Structure 1
Amino acid sequence: MKAVVDDVVIAEADSGDVIEIEGNQYFPPSAIDRSLFEESPTEYRCGWKGDCQYYSIRVDGRWLSDLAWTYPAAPPGAVATVGRDFSGYVAFDKSVRLEP
């Protein structure tokens, strides 16, 4: 599975390594092209997934704010709910194209 912005692949992983949570596809940390990502100052806390870290993504020389996010330390209850530890996995805004 690939995550693509303006024909630039920003993440790529085997489908079996991607976790779906609430309709979002979470890619493993190793699948992300970190050279394109920068931490955002945007703060968010989910009641059941914990503290969230947003990322802006650089594509074609421009920064696209808050297009990706991760839960760096998913709480044990959230891991139990999902059935897998998704700490550090990265999901994307609906404007990011996902390809099989």
Structure 2
Amino acid sequence: MKAVLNDIVIAEAPQEDLIRIEGNWYFPPESVNSAHLEESATPYTCPWKGECQYFSVKDEDGTLLQDRAWSYPTPYPTAFDRVGKDFSNYVAFWKDVKVVD
């Protein structure tokens, strides 16, 4: 599967390597092209997953789309039981970034 923004592949991995949480596909950290992500200072803590790290996504022109990606660097241990596996640092994307087969 691929995470694509304006024909730029931001992440790519086989579906079996992704994790589906609350309707969002989370890509393994090694499958993400970090050159297109910039850490955001936007704070958020999910009540069951833990502290979130947001990222702005850069398109080919260098335009930043604020907070269009996120991950959980250190999820709560109880979240692993709920999800069924460790999703630390996996990255999910907002609707501007299309996840396709």
TM-score (norm 2): 0.96
Structure 1: gaps spanning 5 or more residues = none
Structure 1 segments, 4+ long, off by >4 Å, are: none
Structure 2: gaps spanning 5 or more residues = none
2:80 corresponds in structure 1 to: 79
Q: Equivalents in 1 of 2:96, 2:33: separation in Å?
A: 18
TM-score (norm 1): 0.97
Is it true that 1:94 corresponds to 2:100 in the alignment?
no
> What is the one-letter code of the residue matched to 2:70?
W
Cα deviation, residue 76, structure 1: 1.0
Cα deviation, residue 87, structure 1: 0.6
**Which structure has the highest strand share of the two?**
1
Q: Equivalents in 1 of 2:45, 2:16: separation in Å?
A: 27
> What is the one-letter code of the residue matched to 2:29?
P
> What is the one-letter code of the residue matched to 2:7?
D
Cα deviation, residue 94, structure 1: 1.5
Q: Equivalents in 2 of 1:69, 1:44: separation in Å?
A: 10
Cα deviation, residue 65, structure 1: 0.7
RMSD: 0.6
* Identity in percent: 53
Is it true that 1:41 corresponds to 2:41 in the alignment?
yes
> Alignment length, in residue pairs?
100
2:15 corresponds in structure 1 to: 15
Q: Alignment partner of 1:43: what SS?
A: coil
